[in-house]
Structure 1
Amino acid sequence: MIRGDGAEDEGETAAPFVARKTYRRRRLMDVAKLLPVLGALLFAVPLMWPDADPYPAPDSVSGMPLSQAMIYILVVWAGLILASFFFAMAVRRWAEHWTEGGETGRGGDPD
């Protein structure tokens, strides 16, 4: 008997692949785990910007002012909210399609 859940008993072999629904669910979980990592990296970008010089010399390159850094952080924050909203909507649509409520559950090929 072949099982794909990793719980092989004596005499059973593991399936080389998992079911399509399980594979897709795991990939969606992977994408969901990457969004906070992306957010943390984007929030860390202002830490690498040089500080603005309060008394800049003429014709010198100054750092990033705090006001622009705060605008950047607010834009990233809003972008992450929008990205998570659109990802949630896409997951809901994909989940309906991949489960019994979708087109494949009405008598079509399940995989």
Structure 2
Amino acid sequence: MASGPSSQTRARDLDRVNACSQLDAAYADGQLGAGEYHDRTAQAMSAKTLAELNLLISDLQLPSSITAQAPVRTSGAPRRALRIAVACGAVIAVGAIGLAVTEQDGPDPVTAPVPA
């Protein structure tokens, strides 16, 4: 019978996304400054083990709704959250690109007069 994952268990993408969600919440709550938030997020995205992820969030005060997504996973955890996170990131990226393209400086387009 297998017990839960150990601290040396390899982290999955979903574990990294969950850790980043917790860092997002801590940053929004004022527990982390911008520099520390960016450093920890970068470390979370490159973490290899659950122990590395847990070290990045262990000193934070987080609501139980956020900690329920802790990197230490239960067996059979769905990968749906990862798909949703990737989809949201893609939508945000496409929106940012669209905004950047439409906000470029330049002459206003000339419109042809409409015949009466």
Greater RCO between the two (CA within 8 Å, min separation 6)? 2
Give the structure-2-normalised TM-score: 0.31
Instruction: Select the structure that is richer in helix.
Output: 1
